Amino acid sequence: MKRIILSMIALMLISAVTLQAQRNYGNCFRFEQVQEQLNLNDTQEKQFNDLHFAHRQKVIDLQAEIQKNKLAVKQMMINNEVDESKLRELTNANSENRAKIHSSKVDMWISINKVLNKDQKEVWAKHFARMGDGKGKGKHFNKSRRGFNQGNADRPMQRRRMLD
């Protein structure tokens, strides 16, 4: 009996490890995968990497600033020392930093697009169109259609009535 139980547990663990190793990350935008599909030459690959790393470095700095601002807001809330002007300043700075991140992403895409030939541009455009489909929206994003828009995004008339 013990052998059967131990073999079942071992089988389940091996299965879990195997499934985890085969996990599909969906439409997640992966530069390594895109580079393979683009068939870049050496100079294109260097330019691609340089542009990508410059963008990532900028984004990391902006995200760090956003986190610092969030921490400052949280500290104000916990200490019950809310300064309205400081709170607005921090939230506005975070909004500006998010806009800078988005703008940097678009700038990077345009810069990389200039380096590519016609066939490569088609592949690049397809990946850019999918870039926001999966990453950063959570594991179960929009599966239940619950939440703010409650599924009315595809029905503009009902959404308009809801907002009135």
> Is the pLDDT at 28 greater than 50, yes or no?
no
Domain ranges of the chain: 29-126
- Summarize pLDDT for 142-155 with one digit per residue, the tens: 554 444 444 444 44
What's the mean pLDDT in 8-15? 75
What phi-psi label fits residue 59: left (phi over 0), alpha (psi between -120 and 50 degrees) or beta?
A: alpha
**Residue 69 C-beta-side C-alpha neighbours within 13 Å:** 19
The CATH class of the 29-126 domain is: mainly alpha
Q: Measuring CA to CA, which residue among 94, 30, 90 is closest to residue 62?
A: 94
> Is the pLDDT at 25 greater than 90, yes or no?
no
Backbone angles phi, psi at 151, to 5 degrees: 80, 10
> Is the pLDDT at 135 greater than 90, yes or no?
no
- Summarize pLDDT for 52-110 with one digit per residue, the tens: 999 999 999 999 999 999 999 999 999 999 899 999 999 999 999 999 999 999 999 89
pLDDT for position 147: 47
- Summarize pLDDT for 116-131 with one digit per residue, the tens: 898 888 888 887 776 6
**pLDDT: which is higher, 153 or 1:** 1
